[in-house]
Homo-oligomer: A and B are copies of this chain.
């Protein structure tokens, strides 16, 4: 069945994201260690984020709240409010930073939009993601935008149903095996994995639990056009 709809993840597929979280996390590490030199900031932050995931969901606001909680807990409440104000400022900086596209994205999207209907399917904070898309300047290339609170088989299924797309006509492109590849292949659609150089621990999937067929891996999004052409000829 020929591909009709090509969907892209946003964060770390079209634009840099995780690397910014990592930079801020590094700053948090330094700040907390100024008070508690041997604090294991990274593990504690990850534990707090996981504990809060069902309450806060994904995104910068959730991350900022979890950073504040981590800093207070690790210092047993001894951290001064002025330092917490600095953390609030990091969150705002992340929310206002320009959307920085990955190499080759603009060309790949312009090329693909001439041949397929493009969708953006991303998870996270609605307000933040809409703002990032607007600042990217790429909004007009997409026929539709779906911002999901999480990317599961069910949430992909309802997107396809609502938009009347058959799984065989649908290809998802993204950097996360857990969010962009595994649930899509489970629905009988196809997926293209384009790894990003850093992956949030929560998104890791053991290689031996991956589906054996139905997806491809590319080193860079620049190879997308050629790959899709060869899939369509199969």
Let me know if A85 and B61 touch, CB within 8 A.
no
Q: How many copies of this chain are found per oligomer?
A: 2
User: How many Å from the CB of A186 to the closest CB on chain B?
Assistant: 21
Q: How large is the interface on A (under 10, 10 to 19, 20 to 34, 35 or more residues)?
A: 35 or more
Q: Which of A4-12, A87-95, A225-233 faces chain B?
A: A87-95
- Nearest 5 A/B pairs, CB to CB: A57-B127, A126-B126, A77-B82, A61-B61, A77-B81
Let me know if B65 and A91 touch, CB within 8 A.
yes
Pick the contact of A125 from B91, B92, B126, B144 — CB < 8 Å?
B126
Let me know if B61 and A88 touch, CB within 8 A.
no
Q: Which residues of B contact A82 (CB under 8 A)?
A: 72, 77
Let me know if B92 and A81 touch, CB within 8 A.
no
Residue on B with the closest CB to A80?
Answer: B77
User: How many Å from the CB of A139 to the closest CB on chain B?
Assistant: 12
Let me know if A72 and B56 touch, CB within 8 A.
no
Q: Which residues of B contact A79 (CB under 8 A)?
A: 81
Residues from 45 to 75 in A contacting B, C-beta threshold 8 Å: 52, 55-58, 61-62, 64-65, 68-69, 71-72, 75
Let me know if B57 and A85 touch, CB within 8 A.
no
Residues from 24 to 60 in A contacting B, C-beta threshold 8 Å: 52, 55-58
